């Protein structure tokens, strides 16, 4: 990985040196995809109140990691607003306390706790379990390397991946979502998989309920929201009942045929 060195050293580069660095999009995508399956280290950050926050505190629930720099006036605000819509939909579907979001400033010189608090306010972010975090250069470099997030200094600030990382309950990267204007299902579907789709629990009552939720929680493009579709449950129940009746009739007819052949 070359990007931690770029991040730590590049923050102090001159404008001329910055202009010479170009983001290799194909290589950045390759590195991002290769990060899927990585375990996040237990890095320490500070929240907007300068309280220490570690990544280990988010274990046990899915975590969405979104890296921005607060001086960005182009892609970062669009990503955050797109993420806001998707997170609001996910919270309405799964509950506010079922997952967490961490927006982390990757420009340590400027993305202080105070600046991250101002940034959250300017973006109108007030959703539960959404944390805005700051870190030192070494910590940010380690996080960028582990999540496969690429950034290079540029005359405007940074060129970087528009990447949102979905981490599972054990701190392992599960999915990358790309683009500044991704659609709601690109974020919600992986969360649904993580929250409802673990087969090891399907033999329990809670597991069976989660399996039902997995198949019956559907996206409605008309409202841009998810809903639990009772019609799927009713249709499935009717289908099972109808199949059971058909099987019973077939078994009875088979028994009658056998009895007749035996008497003959």
How many domains does the structure of the chain reveal? 2
Lowest average pLDDT, out of 97-106, 131-140, 204-213, goes to 204-213
pLDDT band at 255 (very low <50, low <70, confident <90, very high): confident
Torsions phi, psi for 226 (to 5 deg): -95, 155
- Any idea what the CATH number is for the domain that residue 179 is in? 3.40.30.10
- Check pLDDT > 50 for residue 78: yes
Q: Are residues 139 and 239 in the same domain?
A: no
Share above pLDDT 70 across residues of the chain, in percent, rounded to a whole number: 70
Residue 11 above 70 pLDDT? no
What pLDDT is recorded for position 19?
44
142 and 240 fall within a common domain? no
Mean pLDDT of the region 11-19: 38
Query: Would you place residue 120 in the very low, low, confident or very high pLDDT band (cuts 50, 70, 90)?
Result: very high
Mean pLDDT of the chain: 81
Residues 133 and 46 in one domain: yes
Task: Estimate the share of the chain in helix, then strand, then coil, as percent rounded to the nearest 5.
Answer: 50, 20, 30
Which residue spans within the chain are E strands per DSSP?
A: 44-46, 52-54, 63-68, 100-105, 130-133, 151-154, 157-160, 163-167, 173-178, 217-220, 225-228
pLDDT tens-digit readout, 38-50: 999 999 999 999 9
**pLDDT at position 252:** 75
In whole angstroms, give the CA distance from residue 199 to residue 163.
28
Domain range enclosing 244: 229-263
Last residue of a domain, one of 175, 198, 221: 198
Give this prediction's pTM: 0.72
pLDDT score of 108 more than 50: yes
Residue 243 backbone phi and psi in degrees, to 5: -65, -40
End residue of a domain, out of 198, 216, 239: 198
């Amino acid at each position: 990985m070359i990007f931690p060195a770029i991040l730590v050293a590049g923050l102090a580069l001159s404008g001329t040196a910055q202009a010479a660095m170009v983001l290799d999009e194909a290589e950045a995508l390759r590195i991002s995809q290769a990060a899927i399956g990585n375990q996040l280290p237990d890095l320490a950050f500070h929240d907007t109140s300068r309280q220490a926050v570690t990544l280990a505190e988010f274990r046990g629930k899915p975590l969405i990691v979104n890296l921005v720099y607060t001086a960005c006036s182009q892609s970062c605000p669009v990503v955050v607003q797109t993420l806001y819509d998707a997170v609001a939909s996910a919270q309405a579907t799964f509950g506010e306390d079922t997952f967490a979001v961490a927006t982390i400033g990757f420009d340590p010189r400027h993305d202080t706790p105070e600046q991250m608090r101002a940034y959250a306010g300017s973006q109108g972010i007030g959703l539960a379990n959404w944390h805005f975090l700051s870190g030192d250069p070494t910590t940010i470099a380690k996080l960028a390397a582990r999540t496969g997030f690429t950034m290079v200094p540029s005359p405007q600030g940074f060129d970087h991946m528009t990447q949102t990382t979905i981490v599972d309950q054990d701190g392992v990267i599960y999915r990358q979502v790309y683009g500044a204007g991704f659609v709601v299902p690109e974020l919600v579907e992986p969360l649904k998989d993580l929250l409802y789709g673990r087969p090891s629990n399907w033999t329990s009552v809670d597991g069976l309920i989660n399996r039902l939720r997995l198949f019956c929680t559907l996206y409605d493009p008309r409202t841009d929201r998810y809903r639990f579709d009772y019609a799927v449950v009713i249709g499935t129940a009717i289908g099972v009942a109808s199949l059971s009746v058909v099987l019973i009739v077939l078994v009875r007819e088979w028994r009658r045929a056998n009895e007749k052949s035996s008497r003959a």
